[in-house]
Amino acid sequence: MLHTAAVARTRNLFPLDADMASSLHAVVHGDVQGVGFRYYVQRRAEEMGLAGWVRNRPDGSLEVVAEGSRPALGRLLELLSKGPGLADVDRVDAEWGEATGLKGFAVRT
């Protein structure tokens, strides 16, 4: 389990091979909409060479699906627990899995 205060729970351990493509599905809870969070995630994910998408959910949370290297996904998860300056993250629920071959990183509406 990742030891970050804002991360509520994680499922499935990281794959053993750091170079193996993995996936991260995360839901970020708190004051995370209307603060530029989706574009913050997109920018950071693209900088780290990750593929996937981010979107606002009707319940006020933010959902992220990302694929790439285990170290880069771990860094993204840490960034999700903090968010951009105006965000107030309460917790991040995260699940790990195998990559499915996503390309690019999109902001979904």
Map out the domains of the chain as residue ranges: 7-108
pLDDT digits (tens, 9 = 90+) for 70-95: 999 999 999 999 999 999 999 999 99
Average pLDDT over residues 49-58: 98
The model carries a pTM of 0.84
Average pLDDT over residues 6-18: 48
Average pLDDT, the chain: 88
Segments in 1-109 forming alpha helices (H): 37-47, 70-82
Query: How far, CA to CA in Å, does 52 sit from each of 29, 55, 60, 86?
Result: 19, 11, 20, 23
Confirm if 32 and 87 have CB atoms less than 8 A apart. Answer: yes
Closest by Cα among 97, 100, 32, 102 to 63: 32
| Higher per-residue confidence, 10 vs 95 | 95
Closest by Cα among 26, 68, 23, 78 to 48: 68
Q: Annotated catalytic sites, by residue?
A: 38, 56
CATH architecture group of domain 7-108: 2-Layer Sandwich (3.30)
CA distance linking residue 13 with residue 78, whole number of Å: 16
